Structure 1
Amino acid sequence: MSEWDAGQTNNMSWSANNVSVAANGDVSLSLTKAPAGSSRPYLGAEVQSNEIATTGTWSWTAQAPIMAPGAVFGMFTYKADWKNDPWVEFDFEFVGGDTTKVQLAIHMENAKGEHMVLTPEAQKRSIIDLGFDASKGMHTYEVSVTEKDATFYIDGKQVAKFGPADMQGNVWQIGPMASFVDLWSVSSGQEAWAGKWTDPGRPLVAIVEGADIRPAEFGSAIEVVSPPV
């Protein structure tokens, strides 16, 4: 669990108190007001795995919060050694108030250490219309990463596939990654992306039923059953 001032925003801190484990093993992450006298006005939650892998499939089964503008709920891979490794990250992100869509993202570095993301053309395929409200039940989100591409799945269905041709500079630089889940609020510089965060007057709560890494295993673990004709 993370417990420090968040680096990607200036209005909240990570708090271990915002992570709880139910009797059935479900993990809840919450975004709340901070107590009086705190260094920042809001508290969020972040958990990460001890296990790491370079290739394989990262999986999360979760129920998104009832979101609000300016909030972000992410399930993602991230470089295992955050101080020394080049940036590599694959994301599922619920952004703002709409939980019927999820955004996919990839972050890498080129040989010069420059930050590279999906090209504008590839980004057109990165916002997925789910066909359901992710805040109303559990769903499984998976990303399979190989030396040449990444395939994203939701409930066993492939929703996107990206490779070097979809990245700025045709870069494809991967490395050891852990699994993360977080819930946080944006600051003013991120409002164009996520909306303006104002206190919704209630906690935002995400529930994670399970998360795992299957090193060197590719494809969804969920068999999609076609409806009878």
Structure 2
Amino acid sequence: MPNHRPALIPLIMLVGLGAMAPAPVSAQPKPNGESFVDNFDRLDPKRWFISDGWNNGDHQNCTWLKRNVGITDGVLKLNYGAQKTKDRAYGCAEVQTNPRYSYGTFEVRLKAAKGPGLNSSMFSYIGPVHKQPWDEIDFEILGKDPSKVQLNQYINGKGNNEKTVPVPGGADTAFNDYAFVWEKDRLRYYINGKLVQTVTDPSAIPSHPQKIYLAIWASETLKSWLGTFVDPGQAVLEVDRVSYTAPGEPCQFPESVACLPQ
């Protein structure tokens, strides 16, 4: 089965959904991801893998479909909508990097989808499917209230580090810049260049190199988290830019938080 990760689920729901137990800690792989900026003139297959033909569990009401991923005028578009597959009534979309990335600055410029039950996200993840412990760093925009973004981390499968932060003007009305700077002893989250969260608790900072994911999906069962699902017709997560800047390297574009004093 191609590499994929379990859908992002609040820790309080994990027991009920039968989440996978963390894999035993093994030798940490060396990251093979170098600094990059992707403005999506095309989807580079050396960098990006498109999820296709499966779903992440019973809570997800859609199947990842390659045909739901496209680029228009330099914008990556991940689509969600009614598309019948073998066991799902809807199709959704996800891309993930082939390389893994360790400490550094991770950034995305995106416009999220609106609608109860929808989840638009950019996150980094590694886990048992990669024969690694489950580590993760999240930006999730819940379509029931896209005026906010939810931040979270998982460390060896343990989450419960959620924080909800307002997005000025709304995450669904315009493109906004989201970034996190991941260091060994500190994790900082930014929205539009403004620092909104700093984590220094060692138990809440991931340590394993991770892949970068962009995804839109929906659920009809996670009502307490995502809201009661309403068919949106067609929903789109639009991504204008994604970048990774390795520690100590120069910032790669003027808006990058890697240009700020560290």
Measured against the shorter chain, the TM-score band is: 0.7 to 0.9
- Asked if structure 1 preserves the Cα contact closer than 8 Å seen for 2:81 and 2:235, the reply is yes
1:107 aligned residue (154, 169, 172): 154
2:76 aligned residue (2, 6, 27): 27
Could you tell me how far apart the structure 2 residues matched to 1:70 and 1:147 are? 34
Residue of structure 1 equivalent to 2:187: 150
Could you tell me how far apart the structure 1 residues matched to 2:106 and 2:124 are? 7
Residue of structure 1 equivalent to 2:67: 17
2:110 aligned residue (58, 62, 65): 62
- Asked if structure 2 preserves the Cα contact closer than 8 Å seen for 1:78 and 1:180, the reply is yes
- Asked if structure 1 preserves the Cα contact closer than 8 Å seen for 2:120 and 2:217, the reply is yes
- Asked if structure 1 preserves the Cα contact closer than 8 Å seen for 2:111 and 2:239, the reply is yes
- Kindly, what percent of the aligned residue pairs are identical? 24
- Asked if structure 2 preserves the Cα contact closer than 8 Å seen for 1:13 and 1:44, the reply is yes
Deviation per CA, 1:115-134: give whole Å up to 9, x if none.
21245xxx4xx100122112
- Which residue type is aligned with residue 227 of structure 2? G
Please say if 1:5 is aligned against 2:54.
Answer: yes
Residue of structure 1 equivalent to 2:218: 185
The verdict on how the C-alpha distance between 1:193 and 1:80 changes in structure 2, with shifts beyond 3 A counting, is closer
1:203 aligned residue (231, 234, 242): 234
Aligned positions of 1:135-174 closer than 5 A = 135-164=172-201, 170=203, 172-174=205-207
Cα RMSD after superposing both structures: 2.2
- Asked if structure 1 preserves the Cα contact closer than 8 Å seen for 2:135 and 2:153, the reply is yes
- Which residue type is aligned with residue 43 of structure 1? G
The verdict on how the C-alpha distance between 1:91 and 1:140 changes in structure 2, with shifts beyond 3 A counting, is same
Secondary structure of 2:133's aligned partner: coil
Residue of structure 2 equivalent to 1:227: none
The verdict on how the C-alpha distance between 1:153 and 1:173 changes in structure 2, with shifts beyond 3 A counting, is closer
- Asked if structure 1 preserves the Cα contact closer than 8 Å seen for 2:63 and 2:91, the reply is yes
Tell me, which stretches of 5 or more residues in structure 2 are unaligned?
1-49, 250-255
Shift of 1:222: 6.0
Q: Which has the higher strand share?
A: 1
Tell me, which stretches of 5 or more residues in structure 1 are unaligned?
110-114, 225-229
1:46 aligned residue (84, 94, 99): 94
Secondary structure of 1:135's aligned partner: coil
Please report the TM-score for the alignment, with normalisation by the length of structure 1.
Answer: 0.82
Could you tell me how far apart the structure 1 residues matched to 2:206 and 2:172 are? 33
